Structures are given as structure tokens and as C-alpha cells.
Structure 1
């Protein structure tokens, strides 16, 4: 179907109608397949709609990008408070790195965004995990920044590592343990 065959303007309602969830799901599938964030045109082509139809659901590309990345970050481990905080933090970090590995272009997308929606999701999960430590706002923020910078650096090292020894997500256990010991002593 080319652009001439597509209906312009507001999408039609029906059983195969377009909605935010369909757009987000398709964008995530394209990211998984291509390793990068799809353009509005690529997304419209995959959905067989006019590119302008995207703007009925999202005010601009940044709005769409934020919705897609929030949807992806929402897949990261959500603390249950059933285990110790150290295990919860490890699961959060592991699942975040798995997500970044599964979607190779996601980290660069997150780092280039001006919105904070995806970071807010991760932050709220982190704060829930460490809430019983009563660290205070400044230490919570500083420890989160340290952890996230470490995880992003590790994700980049995993992605671009050219050596014969591949980095494994489990390799973060030592540094993560150090961060956990520091948090307990504060």
C-alpha cells in the first residue's frame, strides 16, 4: 500500500483500528527487529497508515518516543518487597541490563531524550527498594545517579566489547555488592 492508497486525517474506527497501544507495540517490535528507534514514516508503513495518523495519538515525535520508552522501562523488574532489598536491587539492575541488551538502540535513545518519564519509572522502583534504608533525599539521589551511570557504562561496554571475553550481566554482582555495602554504612 502506498501513500496514495492511505486515508488521510483522523483514523477510522473499527475492529482493526489504530490506537496508542497498537502504535507503541509496533514501535517496540520495530526497535527489537532493527536495533534502533523507528522513524514516524517507518512506523506508519508498518501499520499501513499515513504518517500523519500518528499525530492524532501523539502530539509530536518526542511524545511518541517517550510513550514507547516508558512502555519498555515498565517491563523492568518491579519490586515486590518480599525479599531483602539487596536481592530486589540486583533483580532491578539485571532486568534493566537485559532490556538494554534486548533493545540495542534503547540506551542511546534514553540518553538523547529531553523528557524524564522513563527515568522516573526506574527512579520510583529504585526508591521503593531502598526506602527502608532511610538514606535521605540527597543520598538517595546520589546513589541512584551512581548506580544508573554504572549500569549505562556497563551496557555500553557489553555492546561495544570487542575482546574474546564477553561481558555477562552477572559480572555486575561484584560492583553492585560494593554499592550495596556502601549504602548500608551511610
Structure 2
């Protein structure tokens, strides 16, 4: 007599990839400080000790999720228009970090560099080197760009106001900056209140300044 098929739910086998992707989702939902091995195990429906078959410890977990986030960023091609490639790289990194606000500080703090980060940096240096930058210039260039990317993003995700709140906040702030004491701050705030200046920091403004400066440097080095 044939056996009757069972329709119970079967749990997919645990893997390092599954552990890391679940950890990223938890960090996105609750923040990095809320990510614990116990919470991760509960979400996966396993005992906490089971996780250690796939990650060595908490540091290994953090290394892994940092590398997963880097893997989402566009990697520049070697050859072609270096300036367009670097701009696309920066825009992609900024968008990825806004999707994962907790990752901005984490990525820069890891000592153990994962395969995605190695590919990312190697391609970045290769793109700049093929454009004519020296290795020393390429290294300084991508570090300058990344300082803008990570610093700007960190400020953006921690800023206490939404864009549609800037004008009203500026109006409330105006009495604290009388024109006779702070004439330039007062004038700038008036522009925000009047809708003539958004008051928002512009990621592309700083990025294009860096890229234009690098372009001039490359021309001077030729």
C-alpha cells in the first residue's frame, strides 16, 4: 500500500548564507544593537548553538553581514569612463547604505575584509589606475570618495528632521539668530523659510566637487 504524503512544513536546512541574510533583515528591522545570537536563533527557529556551525562567533557574523551589504554596491568596471564609473559607484553605495542605515559604521570598523569588499576595492583601484592615476593617487582618491559617502550618509540617517519639516523648523529657529548678531545665518534661514533654499545637504554636490578635483589632478599629472 503506498504511503500517504505528509503535508507538514519542513524547515529549510541552515546555511551560512541563510544565517547572514536573516541577520541583515533583523538589523534592518530592529537596528544592529538589537541583533544577538539568541534573537537570530529564535528567528531561524533553531537553538543558538546551531548557529556556530555556520559562524564562528559574533564578530564573524558582523564581518559576514558587512560583506553582504558591500556586495549590493555597484562595482566599477576597469577601463572606460572612470569619472562616470566612480560617480555611479558612489551613488550606488549611498543608496545601499540608506537601505541599511546600521551598516555605515559597521563596514568601516571591520578588520577582517570579506571577498565582496576585496573585489569592490580591487575594481575601484583598477578603474582609477587604468584611467592614469598612480597607485598612490588611486588609493587616496577612493578613500576621499568613501569619506564623503560614509560621512554624508551617517549624517543623513541621524538627522532629526524630515525634508518637509525643514521650513517650519527654520521658522522656529529664527528668533534664536537675530540679524544683528548672526546676519549670514539669519539670511540663510530666511531663504529656507521662504522656500528659496531647501536646506538639505546635497550628496551629489560634494561628490562632484571631489570628482572634478580628481579630474584636474589627473590632467596635471599627465
Query: TM-score by structure 2 length?
Result: 0.68
Paired residues in the alignment total: 173
Shift in CA distance, 170/136, structure 1 to aligned 2, threshold 3 Å: closer
Which residues of 2 match residues 13-28 of structure 1 at below 5 A?
A: 16-28=12-24
- SS of aligned partner of 1:112: coil
Superposed CA offset, 1:20-73 (max 9, x none)? 111111112112222326221121111011111111111121112112111110
76-85 or 153-162, which deviates more: 76-85
Kept in 2: contact 1:36–1:104 (CA 8 A): no
146-155 or 84-93, which deviates more: 146-155
Give the drift of 1:75: 0.9
**Larger gyration radius, structure 1 or structure 2:** 2
Shift in CA distance, 126/112, structure 1 to aligned 2, threshold 3 Å: same
Structure 1 vs Structure 2 CA RMSD = 2.4
Shift in CA distance, 179/151, structure 1 to aligned 2, threshold 3 Å: farther
81-90 or 104-113, which deviates more: 81-90
Runs ≥4 residues deviating over 4 A: none
Question: In structure 2, what is the equivalent of residue 96 of structure 1?
Answer: 93
Superposed CA offset, 1:60-114 (max 9, x none)? 2111211211111011002245851111111100111111111111012123322
Which one scores higher on RCO, CA 8 angstroms, separation ≥ 6?
1
Question: In structure 1, what is the equivalent of residue 82 of structure 2?
Answer: 85
Query: TM-score by structure 1 length?
Result: 0.80
